[in-house]
Amino acid sequence: MLEESLRRPRADAERNRQKLLDAASALIKQGKGELSLAAVAHEADVGIGTLYRNFHDRDALLAALYRSEVERLHDAAEMLAKDMPPLEALRAWLGLYADLMTVKYGLADAMKSALKSDAQIFTHSRSRLAAALSALLSTAAEAGVIRRDAEAEDLLIAVAAQVSASIGGAGAGERRARLLGLMVDGLRFGAAATGRG
């Protein structure tokens, strides 16, 4: 009985933490200006005290949100690989990664401050994303639908650069989709030739 009552508060706390992260993510994606902690607490339907018990300031919230989104994207690679053909799984994952970069660049100043406060986040995040993408690239190359010389790190840099270059401009979403399409076409070029090697 005591063990169960101790477990319940931990489960409730974890649920509240996740609600706060989901609320922050939703507000950022709505793009309604600077992210306020009061707005996040309201969106999550919890008190501001609950927010501060989980995240002592906005930097801590944003750093945790970025880590959470990276883990979600890492885990998505395996799910997409199970549910889709290799090329479509790769295309879908690159789109999700572009979404993450859009959020990151959309809150450039706030995210810079938040990520600076968590020095290990860059190394950890890049490693997790590269591992997920490498698995998708390897599966697609083995299926003969993309070339074998594609490197995960190169693609992560290329997608981030194209998002950065097009963010905020007119038709940014359409441009991003076109550029991703061109990138996937580039991966397909020479697939059969490299597949034989």
The pair of three-digit structure tokens given for residue 107, joined into one six-digit string: 């809150």
* Phi, psi angles (nearest 5°) of residue 147: -70, 160
Burial of 195 (0-12, 13-18, 19+ CB in 10 A): middle
Specify the number of domains making up the chain.
Answer: 2
Helix (H, G, I), strand (E, B) or coil at 185: helix
Residues 164 and 71 in one domain: yes
Confidence category of residue 195, pLDDT binned at 50, 70, 90:
very low
Specify whether 180 is located in the same domain as 129: yes
Question: Is the same domain home to 17 and 81?
Answer: no
Which residue has better confidence, 166 or 139? 139
Radius of gyration of the chain (CA): 19
Using pLDDT thresholds of 50, 70 and 90, give the confidence band for residue 163.
confident
**Residues 97, 72 share a domain:** yes
* pTM of structure: 0.81
**Are 119 and 183 contained in the same domain?**
yes
Q: For residue 12, give its domain range.
A: 1-56
Which residue's entry shows tokens 């409730």? 12
Domain CATH number, residue 108: 1.10.357.10
Tens-digit pLDDT profile for residues 84-137? 999 999 999 999 999 888 877 766 666 666 666 666 777 788 899 999 999 999
Helix (H) and strand (E) counts in the chain: 10, 0
